Structure 1
Amino acid sequence: MPQGLPRRIRYAFVTQGLLLILAVVFGVSVVTLITRDALISQRLEVEAKAFWERRAGLRPPGQLPATNAIQGYFRENGDPDSGVPAVFRPLPDGMNYMYRMQRAVLVERRPDGMLYLVLQTRTVDRLMWSSAAALILLGLLAALAITALTYRKSRSIVLPVNRLAEEVARWDPMQGEMSAPLAISAGAGDPSREVRALSSALHGLTGRVAEFVQRERDFTRDASHELRTPLTVIRVASDMLLSDPALPPHGRRSLERIQRAGRDMEAVIDAFLILAREGGVAPVSEEFDVREVALEEIDKAQGLLTGKPVELQLAGDASPRLFAPRAVLGVVLGNLLRNACHFTERGSIEVAIGPDAVVIRDTGIGMSAETLRHAFEPFYRADAFSPMGKGFGLTIANRLARRFGWDLVLESEPEVGTVATLRFTPANGS
């Protein structure tokens, strides 16, 4: 299965199985070794007790044990040559296990001498480790069986959840809601009540999200359409007034500002319509000169600097061409320029055109790191009481840039200024 969650569960169970196998092998080995030593110790202690009882006359006298398994030696006090092999003489009192020689030696000291009982452990070792191997084999089979059964059960529980995640990942809210609640395939097993409840809840959520997206698109489209009517009236009326030769200069300037604001509003409406069609019909595009659009927006922005000691200039000799809606680039550059004009009280604003970017630098109040992080959020303003703007211009500019694959980056420092870089892919190498 290529799915991530089942794969991680499989790895977890494989790791658990390996650890369980190691635990079984180690545990059985330790228990076998302890049991072996206990049996040997008990056997030798019984033989030693019987010998001392015979020597004390409590039992019929007899010789030291001398069988295929046990060999006994006794050294009386003061007897340097008692027949005890040299390898056993240095051993301390008590049980001594000589694993390499497969011997176990019990040394007991009494007032009349020392007793050495030597047991060959080859037969005991063979018996104990054969039993241990059988126990380990049974333990491994049991561990594998339990792990396999548990894995199958966990897999049957997880597969519906994984399938549900795949369905949600494939769902596109722009294409409507999911056709039906999650249908579990026959091979996935019977989903639990919780999985069925989660499937039903997610299906309902997708429907509500799809309705919300459609409602937002309808509102944006309808509102933008309705706004065109009063804008058309404003434009026609201002044109008629401007044609009056008796209009005073200050009235002509005001009407020209009204016309510029009307054209800006129409461009914003076009941008809203483009954003409302995200994922739908592509907007009408054309090839145009970026420099011409930048000059138009600079001319519009000049009126915002009236009475301010701010120089707005164009820099750079590049003249790249783009294939996109011309009005979209105008809206993006216009919003960036309006921001620069609003927040620059003295100094300069420079619009530099490069082969693949437009860079707008200002010497305004700048933004802190915290403000910069929220700059593209709707309605966010560093100064909530400022009358300038509603905190929506940068959001529109950023959404439009992403819509057409452009990259809008802001760099800023308080009391130094802001640099806005709009990077795009030119239509040709010019």
Structure 2
Amino acid sequence: MQKTTNRIAQRITFAFFLYGILLTSIIGLSLIAVFKSTQIRILDDILSDELTHFLQQTETDQVPRLFYRSRTTSIYAIPLDDLKNRLPYTRNLSQGTHDLTHEDRDYRVLVKHIDNMRYVVKFDDTNIRNLERDFVRLVGLCSIAILIIALFIAWGTSHQIMRPIKQLANQVTASRNDPDKSLNLTEFDNDEIGDLASELQHYQEQLQHLLIREKEFASNVSHELRTQVTSIALATQILSARTGLTPKDHTRIQRIQRAVDEMSELIETFLVLAQISNKSVKYIDAVCDMNAIVQKVIDQQRIWLNDKPVKVIIEEKEPLKVSAQPGILSVLVANLVRNAFRYTERGTITISLTANQLIVTDTGRGIDDATQAQIFKGYVKHSSGNANRIGLGLAIVQRICERYEWTVSFESTQGKGSQFMVCFSS
């Protein structure tokens, strides 16, 4: 979340900076344009006034005047039939005002034809042009300074805006590891962020109520179901102890006992599923010997083999020690082994242990491509001829692996068998 809020702050800063560039560019260019247009208008007025004064002076003196020069202004009166010999660098200028550079000097020039005479008025605006260039440089430097200031203001403003969002995110993140702890988000201002905090607090309170109801439900259901299953198990034990039972009676009693065992395993599976879905549950982990757990699980699940010609092999290539809750590890191994026992009719089932992996390999019927695509979703129907389903087993395995940040993968070829691998490395 820290990186996300930083990216938002960067986007706000970047937006402010772009706005600053746009604003300073508009203001700077406007100032330069106003300066330039004002300069041209003043110079053109000066040229026009100088020419008018020159013509009036010529009329007053009643003497033809062909030239006049002051410190910045020069006026030339040239007969139209003598243009080739006078001011050749202005020969191609049409009537009107022009900017001209001659001998490293800048001029504003007015050209006008009156009574077969061509009047050329030059104003030396070299110093004004230099001032204009200095003004443009000054505007550029001021724009850069304004942009730097705007960048710092934008950076500070964006972090000021993001501070309550970061605070809200940190509080929500802190509550992620302890959902039982109530959020106190009343300290935020009465604005959009305050509204968001209020909604989050309301949502978290609803989640807490749901978690409480879930815990109560799991506890009550566990107690009630276990009580009934225990009663059935005791009843079957009493029945099996009777004398005079026929082989059919023993078969029926064994079937009931198997159903009781399945129901007990299903209850434990549902409870584990509820626990690993609830991250508030604090596990008491221990370093477990996986070989001992595998041996125990095989003894418990061997009933699924019946009399099938299947050989079970345990290969402990390296000692495998895993830090986790022993009961959860037993559920993980049991679900993998049970599937292998159920769907292998003949051949071998190999449980391999390496330094960080548990591998269950069977020579069963394998899994078709359609089933493989959704095998971890739970209660996926196996594409065999019977109505057996894979059930929640592999979904439980994946949930456990996600909870402990382990990985589970598999390979399967229909008709040849399957291999499931659990890697316990973080």
Structure 2 length as normaliser, TM-score?
0.72
Aligned letter for 2:43? I
Aligned letter for 1:282? Y
Are 2:121 and 1:117 equivalent residues in the alignment? yes
Alignment of 1:73-84 (within 5 A): 73-79=76-82, 82-84=85-87
Aligned letter for 1:196? G
Specify whether residues 390 and 317 from structure 1 end up closer, same or farther in structure 2 by C-alpha distance, changes over 3 A only.
closer
Specify the alignment match of 1:388 in structure 2.
Answer: 388
Specify whether residues 248 and 324 from structure 1 end up closer, same or farther in structure 2 by C-alpha distance, changes over 3 A only.
farther
1:368, 1:412 within 8 Å by CA — same for their partners in 2? no
Residue of 154, 165, 169 corresponding to 2:169:
165
2:110, 2:120 within 8 Å by CA — same for their partners in 1? yes
Deviates further, 208-217 or 158-167:
158-167
SS in 1 for 2:217: helix
1:74, 1:113 within 8 Å by CA — same for their partners in 2? yes
Q: CA deviation at 1:215?
A: 1.7
1:173, 1:206 within 8 Å by CA — same for their partners in 2? no
Specify the alignment match of 2:232 in structure 1.
Answer: 234
Specify the alignment match of 2:211 in structure 1.
Answer: 213
SS in 2 for 1:171: helix
Deviates further, 31-40 or 229-238:
31-40
1:357, 1:421 within 8 Å by CA — same for their partners in 2? yes
2:361, 2:419 within 8 Å by CA — same for their partners in 1? yes
Deviates further, 410-419 or 32-41:
410-419
1:379 and 1:31 mapped to 2: Cα distance?
78
String of CA shifts for 1:338-377, please: whole Å, max 9, x gaps: 44566678987654433321223455233449x63x5444
Specify the alignment match of 1:400 in structure 2.
Answer: 400
String of CA shifts for 1:69-121, please: whole Å, max 9, x gaps: 2223344345477452x6x2465435234396333334556784544332211
Q: CA deviation at 1:253?
A: 5.4
1:405 and 1:205 mapped to 2: Cα distance?
27
Specify the alignment match of 1:187 in structure 2.
Answer: none
Specify whether residues 60 and 244 from structure 1 end up closer, same or farther in structure 2 by C-alpha distance, changes over 3 A only.
farther
1:321 and 1:157 mapped to 2: Cα distance?
49
String of CA shifts for 1:193-241, please: whole Å, max 9, x gaps: 4333332222111111111112212222332232222232333334444
Aligned letter for 1:364? G
1:408, 1:420 within 8 Å by CA — same for their partners in 2? yes
Specify the alignment match of 1:282 in structure 2.
Answer: 283
Specify whether residues 286 and 121 from structure 1 end up closer, same or farther in structure 2 by C-alpha distance, changes over 3 A only.
closer
Q: CA deviation at 1:424?
A: 1.7
Alignment of 1:123-272 (within 5 A): 123-125=127-129, 158-172=162-176, 174-184=178-188, 191-243=189-241, 247=245, 252=250, 255-256=253-254, 258-260=256-258, 262-263=260-261, 265-270=263-268, 272=270
Specify the alignment match of 1:314 in structure 2.
Answer: 313
1:164, 1:199 within 8 Å by CA — same for their partners in 2? yes
Specify whether residues 22 and 312 from structure 1 end up closer, same or farther in structure 2 by C-alpha distance, changes over 3 A only.
farther
Specify the alignment match of 1:421 in structure 2.
Answer: 421
Specify the alignment match of 1:335 in structure 2.
Answer: 335
1:381 and 1:50 mapped to 2: Cα distance?
108
String of CA shifts for 1:312-350, please: whole Å, max 9, x gaps: 653644252445444422321222344456667898765
2:177, 2:280 within 8 Å by CA — same for their partners in 1? no
1:72, 1:118 within 8 Å by CA — same for their partners in 2? yes
Residue of 28, 31, 55 corresponding to 1:25:
28
1:336 and 1:39 mapped to 2: Cα distance?
94
Instruction: Give the percent of matched residue pairs that are identical in Structure 1 and Structure 2.
Output: 21
String of CA shifts for 1:18-76, please: whole Å, max 9, x gaps: 4433443344334433443454345445555776798899x996554422222233443
SS in 1 for 2:335: helix
1:111 and 1:63 mapped to 2: Cα distance?
14
Residue of 66, 72, 75 corresponding to 2:75:
72
Alignment of 1:18-97 (within 5 A): 18-44=21-47, 47=50, 62-79=65-82, 82-84=85-87, 88-89=89-90, 91-93=92-94, 95-97=98-100
The count of residues paired between Structure 1 and Structure 2 equals: 410
Aligned letter for 2:288? E
Specify whether residues 26 and 67 from structure 1 end up closer, same or farther in structure 2 by C-alpha distance, changes over 3 A only.
same
Aligned letter for 1:101? R
String of CA shifts for 1:140-171, please: whole Å, max 9, x gaps: 99989999989888776654344323322222
Specify whether residues 192 and 11 from structure 1 end up closer, same or farther in structure 2 by C-alpha distance, changes over 3 A only.
farther
Deviates further, 129-138 or 416-425:
129-138
SS in 1 for 2:388: coil
Specify whether residues 148 and 407 from structure 1 end up closer, same or farther in structure 2 by C-alpha distance, changes over 3 A only.
closer
SS in 1 for 2:408: strand
2:359, 2:422 within 8 Å by CA — same for their partners in 1? yes
1:79 and 1:40 mapped to 2: Cα distance?
28
Specify whether residues 220 and 61 from structure 1 end up closer, same or farther in structure 2 by C-alpha distance, changes over 3 A only.
farther
